[in-house]
Structure 1
């Protein structure tokens, strides 16, 4: 006859300890997995945002009537031809990094003239780790621009505009954006791209 005896207190304590260890390991693994998945999602989101920024900046800046003189031939004075009026300038806001603001203009309504009104004056700049969009024709050093990135999710640590080549046909503008995830600051990306600007006087 087989007699089943009950578990001793020691056996129960050992079994309980083993279960606790297994549970803690499973919980730790689960937490690490969730953290890894979350960081992966933030990394993909940051990459998507940089791609979107590249598209928006390229589509707008490439429309610049570079070196246009209000769509009119340069004015001659005493046999000296005045240089075309620049419609793209690079500077910065306050103490932000050099070359972190670009202003440009183009004949949006195709009237034949680049108007002084804000509707044909555009720009992007870095300010307080956000990229801002120019409104009301304001200069780089003036406040009141609108954010197009959100510092609650993305920190823009560098925005740089550099003219890399210039010729009679126009110029090449190189744009560099360094971005960092606001939650996981070890997640960072850099996007560098070039925009071709055609000289309408060429």
Structure 2
């Protein structure tokens, strides 16, 4: 028989479990192939109870991206504190991890279109603020003094790299898939060199 009531602590635990599980499914199979049913069954709750936490799958996806942000910063801290890695190697490893998966979720072109056309103006504005704060923190963690212009450029350079890699060949069929990795490696090297010049200023 299902439990009738939950404490605030239990509800917070279930909510975090839903976000963690959602991230795992999205990282493995993408937004479009991830269903609410997969998530709530994995956590062990009912569909009805799921909707007391999130109004839609899109809401869960966006909240999962927020939930992921401190984990990204924790990963960067691990890289920076790894004495076997130079500054450039740590930054390169971070960008490669973002680019090639390994648990960090970045939405594809189609996923972005699907999610953000359902967001309200207020929700989209909140997402942009949280996104800019994350990338500002990333620059700061790597010892780069952030400015609004630097943060915005870093967002575009990073997401263009990652989304480009995910988009070949399905969303960008005229590009050459055999050269995708070499292209991404070139972009990573360019971003790293650019950020290094910022760090030295």
Q: TM-score, normalised by structure 1?
A: 0.26
Task: Identify the structure with bigger relative contact order (alpha carbons < 8 Å, sequence gap 6+).
Answer: 2
Which structure: greater strand fraction? 1
Question: Rg larger in 1 or in 2?
Answer: 1
